[in-house]
Amino acid sequence: MSGRRVHQVRRDLLLAAVREAGRSTRADLARRTGMARMTVDNLVTELLTAGLLAEAAAVADGARAGRPARSITLGPAAGGVVGAIVTTQGVRAASADLTGRILAEHHLSGADLDSLALLVAECATAVEGPAWSIVLGLGAGRDPALAAGLQQRLGRRVIVRTAAELSLLGEVGYGIAAGHTDVCYLRVGSGITCGLLLGGVLHHGAHGAAGRIGHVQMDEIGPLCRCGNRGCLDTIASAPAILAALAAPLGEPVTAARAVELSRTDEATERILADAGRMIGRVVADVANTVNPALVVMDGPLIEAGGPIVAAVGESLRRYAQPEVAAGTTIRAGTLGDRAGLLGALFAGLRATPAARGGRTLARVSPAVTTADAAPSGGGRSPGDRERAVRQDILVETLRAAGRTTRSDLVKRTRLPRAAVAALLDGLVRDGVVERCTADGPRAGRPSPCFRLVTPGELLVGVAIEGEGIRVIAAGGTGEVRWSGFRSLPLSMDGRAVMRAAAGFARELLDGHGERPGPGTRFAVSMPAPVHPVTGHLSSRSVLTMFAGFSPAEEIAAVLGRPVVAANNAQLAALAESRRGAARGARDVLYLSCDQFTGAGLVAGGRPHAGAIGYAGEVGHLNVREVGPLCLCGKRGCLSAFLSPGYFAAVSDGPPDEGRLLARAASGDRPAQRALLDAGRLIGRTVSPLVSVFDPAVVIVGGRFTEPGGFVVDGVRESLQRHCAPAAAAALTVVPAALGRDAEALGAIESLL
């Protein structure tokens, strides 16, 4: 970090602290930011001159004698933000100061550029000082040219977001989703849309088409939808569809407000709303099973907390989602109503201001705050901890930028006190983050000790627990594969014993290659079951009962004596295929591992997405048919139940066996090939809601079913084109996997990089 950058970070930190506190003294600011008092004094003087801070009347400090401290607040030049949103109801605009306090809020029924520009200008005049950002939200079907027009009129950049995304941010910043990182925001309006917050980051999709939940197909021969498909959710459960269904028996048009009122007393109205809720709930269950949010927020003119739609969605969720997912997903009505989008626009703007940047620095060094979208705050640490963490962050950033550096250079570059630098370096060396090294070249006088960041592990070992055995791949510190091994092992025994056998096999291989697990050796294990992303534990209700209720990483670590991380196999295969396989370079990827236990892995914005409790991508238990065959999980009609060997008995010739089916297809047996093509079609249709909502750039099809040839891949491709929302299907690429059976172990290695 350069001296100038450090100065910028400190300025932002100070602004964030003032914004948080509202009004404080210089001494208080030094405590809050962890900066030296003299640094704070200098910065305050600078920011007072710039008008970003203001000095208010003295703070009366009770019994203390002497001159009372002057209090510091945000100054007139601190400015604020402007947000606007255009929907079918017209234009809304508002402005806020940097503390988020609303300064102005206006509404016009026209949705044209003149109305929009007028309102934005009016709200901007309510901001004293600069308007740091202008955020514009566009509702479904609103003309994107409005954004370009506004930008031209104002002569400055306008940040554009969809109304659904901003409503989601509104609930995260000001409403019921505060503090959550995995949220699905569902709006039932003229269409049904959803916004996704995945691991604290807004998900836009590869083509900006994420969240098209209204065009999930419910009925292949249902009414024609405006998207061109038949039987979309919108045609059954959007607000206009529900109101039309209500108007028929009543013989007159009904407004949304009237419908909500009627539903409290009139049983027929309640049933019609509940029926729409059940339809929405089926799709919400699919989203919960595959994206695994912790919270679903519902909004719209017909949505009421405790009303029939919200209740019915909950009912469908319990019916169609896996028990653990249903238990881990909360459904709530939004609390901000019509203002959600507008408040979200303000919140999105606040995140782009200097004071928010400072807040994020505080958040980054504080593990208590994990979301980049959380309201800027200092987390729950004591001032002393925070001071240490901020300084440590600055020191590590400086070492990262500069490479090996002497202690005296670090003092110069960071402008931190010499004693603090020495103490922090001691701590970082103890924690294994930083190591001492020899300085470059000879130097006169007593040399200052030299330090560098510890480089990533010299040996990365991926261990995959697969259906037929254990695969181990070892790679160097930059991920280049060095050697690998496979040992067959039937998984029909105690899961902990399998983990110990896997660890033993890994150690044998290490020994055989003359490697000894040391500080530079790191392990990751791929598991055929959901792994909780925080606790690292396998779900206690895993369908594979031997892999339930324990920590696979701990079992392996106990044998190898080194730290181990664990994750789900399809999620890891998705990561490997996106970084070094069939979808290299794509940021939003869906990987399908097709076999009896079909699973999926999601990569969102380049990062693997495990979901709130590790269940993201569990497509094998999506409901295909209510009265279908019984599944191992105890529900009827899961996708997995239609892919079990018994289901292929007619073309298997002999007792059902997956291996024989695949061998027959590979040897050219047409019925077996045709059965795999159909299996692909079924998988494609079943995951089409996920594709419509997630909007991946590439769908990768792998797994055992693809080994005899491209039959399953063709089936998946055909079905996705047929059943996905046209916006997501148009530019979608469906390709066979490239890494074969190595994908999971390679993904484990990628997770260590």
Minimum CB distance to Zn ion smaller for 638 or for 672 = 638
Let me know the angle formed at the C-alpha of 34 by 33 and 39, rounded to the nearest 5 degrees.
85
Please work out, in degrees rounded to the nearest 5, the angle formed at the alpha carbon of residue 235 by the alpha carbons of 232 and 238.
110
Q: CB 320 → Zn ion: shortest distance, Å? A: 11
**Cβ-proximal residues to 633 (8 Å cutoff; 6+ apart), any chain:** 322, 543, 621, 640
Starting at the edge strand found earlier in the chain, the sheet holding 589-593 runs 607-609, 599-604, 589-593, 698-702, 733-736
| Nearer of residues 592 and 604 to Zn ion, judged by Cβ | 592
How far lies 379's CA from each of 116, 123, 199, in Å?
Answer: 37, 32, 18
Nearer Cβ to Zn ion (316/673): 316
The least CB distance from residue 99 to Zn ion, in Å, is 42
Q: In angstroms, give the least distance from the CB of 730 to Zn ion.
A: 13
466/180 Cα distance (integer angstroms): 34
Q: How distant is the alpha carbon of residue 537 from its chain centre?
A: 20
**Alpha carbon distance 548, 555 (integer Å):** 13
3-state secondary structure of 291: helix
What residue ranges bind Zn ion (CB under 5 A)?
215, 225, 227, 229, 232, 621, 631, 633, 635, 638
Report, in Å, the least distance between residue 598 CB and Zn ion.
11
Distance in Å, CB of 224 to Zn ion, minimum: 9
- For residue 419, what are its two tokens? 């004693």
Strand locations in 88-130 (E): 90-97, 102-108
Between 225 and 302, whose beta carbon lies closer to Zn ion?
225
Q: How far apart are CA 554 and CA 562, in angstroms?
A: 10
Phi-psi region of 319 (alpha: psi -120 to 50; beta: other; left: phi over 0): alpha
Strand partners of residue 53: 74
> 102 vs 227, which CB is nearer to Zn ion?
227
Q: Please, which residue, 522 or 621, has the CB nearer to Zn ion?
A: 621
Min separation Cβ 324 and Zn ion, Å: 12
CB of 688 to Zn ion, least distance (A): 12
What is the C-alpha separation between 631 and 522, in angstroms, rounded?
37
C-beta separation of 348 from 161 below 8 A? yes
**Quick one: 259 or 631, whose CB is closer to Zn ion?**
631
Q: Rank residues 233 and 589 by Cβ distance to Zn ion and give the closer one.
A: 233
Return the number of the residue (635 or 741) whose C-beta is nearest Zn ion.
635
- The residue written with tokens 């070249």 in the block is 441
CB of 335 to Zn ion, least distance (A): 29
Question: What is the spatial distance between Cα 390 and Cα 36, in angstroms, rounded to a whole number?
Answer: 12
The answer to whether the beta carbons of residues 718 and 683 sit under 8 Å apart is no
Amino acid identity at 395: L
Please say which residue, 609 or 621, places its beta carbon nearer to Zn ion. Answer: 621
Q: How far is the CB of 638 from Zn ion (least distance, A)?
A: 3
Nearest distance from C-beta of residue 550 to Zn ion, angstroms:
22
Burial status of residue 685 (CB atoms within 10 A of its CB: 0-12, 13-18, 19 or more)? buried
